Amino acid sequence: MPIESVMKNPGRATFLGWPEIGLEDITPGMLVIAGVPCGFTGSGPGPEFAPDAIRQASRASLWRWTEPPEGEVVDVLDGSVMRLKDGAGFGDLGDVAIFSPQLEKTTQSIADTTYEIARRGGIPICLGGDHYVSFPLIEGLARARGGQFGYIQIDAHLDLQNDNPNHGTHWHGSNARRVADLDPFDPAKMVWIGLDDVCWPEEWSFGQEHGCTFLTMRDIRQTSVGAAVQKALAVAGDGTDGIYLTIDIDVVQRAFSPGTGYCNFGGLTAAELLDVMKLLSAYPKFVGVDLVEVNPLLDVNGTTAMLASLALITLLEPMVLNPRKAP
């Protein structure tokens, strides 16, 4: 397998200051950050700059990991004390090679990366990129692992279009549909959280006919974020070998997330997204995660990159910090 699919980022920031690693350093259970600087399969330039912007933004949270005088931090929401796990494995692999505008070669490169990570037992945590990248990330991962997987997509949109007249079958409106086509995924174990806006009739009927679970913003407003997460985990986790989680930052209202291509006024607030992440973080069997559609060219004061980094940190912290109750 060619390893040209992964490049290091010498001298550049790593996510949360995690060590730079190569594929050979990956051990089973390790959390592996990989940037996917691909923006040509979306709606405009910008998402290709997101991996570095999210890594830079994560540095504002470094103190939680490196500076507590007693090596611990306390979560003020529940009083739990967290300490870095001894020997917890995590690292930053750098960025996937992108061959813009060559769709096939780029798709292969992205898929090879998660294949190689998962083959070594690593759990890929990927920084997009536009949402198309999710499909090759998942394809490579599923090919390496085997098994049946659930799927949770936090997004204002379905991304279930089969064939767009302008963009074809492989772009950021078709990623979920391509995932649904993969054998390890049963559409009845695929869940969307935070849907808003409109979709094409074909996407809607695909979801209805195949038993997809759509949890809209209206559902969330009428119940709660907690109820939505509980339902999503119950559906996607039912009888599966793990869940893949994809987060499209455009699920968040524009006031909190100006740096993304879609203008959303009805979506989650920033605090609600972090609540969703906190609740999801209790689930122990995520096989891979991506966060996509941050666009630094549209961002204001790095707000969206900061929110993206905090969303991932909130999700990952229980996996690398040992919680214990305060005395």
Closer CB to Mn ion, residue 73 or residue 152? 152
User: Rounded to the nearest whole angstrom, what is the least distance from the CB of residue 294 to Mn ion in the complex?
Assistant: 12
Closer CB to Mn ion, residue 73 or residue 199? 199
C-beta separation of 22 from 93 below 8 A = yes
Closer CB to Mn ion, residue 129 or residue 296? 129
Beta strands in the chain (DSSP E): 6-7, 31-36, 72-74, 80-84, 90-96, 123-128, 149-154, 185-195, 213-216, 243-248, 286-292, 321-325
User: Rounded to the nearest whole angstrom, what is the least distance from the CB of residue 250 to Mn ion in the complex?
Assistant: 6
Closer CB to Mn ion, residue 122 or residue 194? 194
DSSP character at residue 9: -
Q: Which two tokens stand for residue 35?
A: 């940037």
Residue 214 C-alpha from the chain's centroid: 18
Closer CB to Mn ion, residue 116 or residue 130? 130
Q: Which two tokens stand for residue 118?
A: 């998962």
User: Rounded to the nearest whole angstrom, what is the least distance from the CB of residue 91 to Mn ion in the complex?
Assistant: 27
Count how many residues are written for the chain. Answer: 327
Residue 5 C-alpha from the chain's centroid: 20
DSSP character at residue 123: E
Binding site for Mn ion (CB under 5 A): 131, 155, 157, 159, 248
Distance CA 221, CA 244 (A): 25
User: Rounded to the nearest whole angstrom, what is the least distance from the CB of residue 324 to Mn ion in the complex?
Assistant: 37
Edge-to-edge order in the sheet of strand 321-325: 72-74, 80-84, 321-325
User: Rounded to the nearest whole angstrom, what is the least distance from the CB of residue 171 to Mn ion in the complex?
Assistant: 11
